[in-house]
């Protein structure tokens, strides 16, 4: 990815059809549509089993020791993507709220990482409630309380 793509909120983990089917089956995705066009989504990648999420899985596993949070109650691999022309309209918060409605009985917290280069996601995520939990480490992990 180019520096401009990183700063504008492009994502780094790609999901294939099987991954997405697992996420959909577990109702851990919200998709925003305008007419026939997909304009955004918010998902939790935990159920995909994607190897690229192992670092988040390991962090989720360690949160019991540092924060007293059970691994089973953490939805990790969270990611949001919104078409550039639909940004700054509040879609991220709307999709997140709907996603939280879907998963509040499964998870107490959501976990994600946001690159320091991804200025758009950093600003948006902190504005809607995500909190950094390890500012001195790389990558920086962000936690959101579901309940």
Where do the domains of the chain lie?
3-145
| Model pLDDT, residue 12 | 66
Q: Which residue spans within the chain are E strands per DSSP? A: 29-34, 37-44, 74-76, 78-82, 109-113, 131-132, 141-145
Residue 3's pLDDT band, with cuts at 50, 70 and 90, is low
User: Using one digit for the tens of pLDDT, what is the confidence trace for 40-90?
Assistant: 999 999 998 888 899 999 999 999 999 999 999 999 999 998 988 998 899
Task: Write the CATH number of the domain with boundaries 3-145.
Answer: 3.40.630.30
């Amino acid at each position: 990815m180019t520096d401009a793509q990183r700063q504008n909120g492009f994502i780094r983990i790609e999901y294939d059809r099987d991954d997405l089917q697992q996420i959909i089956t577990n109702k851990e995705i919200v998709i925003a549509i305008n007419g026939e066009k997909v304009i955004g989504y918010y998902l939790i990648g935990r159920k995909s089993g994607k190897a690229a999420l192992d670092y988040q899985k390991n962090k989720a596993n360690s949160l019991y020791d540092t924060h007293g949070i059970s691994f089973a109650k953490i939805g990790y691999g969270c990611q949001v993507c919104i078409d550039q022309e639909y940004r700054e309209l509040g879609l991220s918060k709307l999709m997140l709220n709907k996603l939280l409605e879907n998963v509040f009985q499964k998870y107490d917290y959501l976990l994600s990482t946001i690159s320091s280069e991804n200025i758009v996601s950093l600003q948006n995520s902190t504005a809607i409630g995500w909190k950094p939990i390890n500012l001195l480490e790389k990558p920086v992990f962000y936690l959101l309380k579901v309940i």
